Amino acid sequence: MAKLYFYYASMNAGKSSTLLQTAFNYGEQGMRVSLWTAAIDNRPGFGAISSRIGLASDAHRFGPDTDIEGRVVEDHGQDAVSCVLVDEAQFLTRDQAWQMARLADAHNIPVLCYGLRTDFQGQLFEGAAALLGIADALVELKAICHCGRKATMNVRIDAAGQPVREGAQTEIGGNERYVAMCRRHFSEAMRGPI
């Protein structure tokens, strides 16, 4: 029986590179994968799925209204899909997270979702919250804080490298906008000077 997996971590933990390695492994065995990523990340120079270590691959893009399940089932009927891989899974809607569960349960297709657990204020993303509740397996990937502890949080920074404490939940960016930190240093950054 297929399962729904949620691989979560802070920024810079290797989520996209792990996903792309998994896609490569399936391909090496002659198996077809269905790759998905959030349409919200439209930065120039980025492949549909890009890792910071230089790996990239084209992928289907999803928005809040995309019927991922329907598209995968249609593709699966034409040429068997061995696995569905979703990058930036924090941007899935709750309904789309349940679509991922149905792909595993009703269509027997393993689904591996990779994404952030929380935003820059420590709040769960909608897709991450749903996946944390329904996934068959939760796997935490590790990043490292500047102090050497496990980084579990993401701090948004401004152009001067100072923590940003307010704003929209989603602002697309990489190392120029976000820093992975342990909870202690995240709390200090969000509290600010006393």
Quote the distance between the C-alpha of residue 65 and its chain's center: 18
Instruction: Enumerate residues 6+ apart whose C-beta is below 8 A from 121.
Output: 165, 169, 190
- Among residues 28, 69, 74, 88, the one annotated as catalytic is 88
- Residue 138's φ and ψ, nearest 5 degrees, are -110, 125
HSE (side-chain half, CA atoms, 13 Å) at 125 = 26
Is-catalytic flag, 88?
yes
User: What is the number of helices (H) and of strands (E) in the chain?
Assistant: 5, 12
Quote the distance between the C-alpha of residue 66 and its chain's center: 17
Neighbouring CB atoms inside 10 A of 71's CB total 15
How are beta strands 56-57 and 111-116 bridged, if at all? Answer: unpaired
Q: How far is the C-alpha of 111 from the C-alpha of 92, rounded, in Å?
A: 13
93 SS3 class: coil
Which residue numbers are catalytic?
88
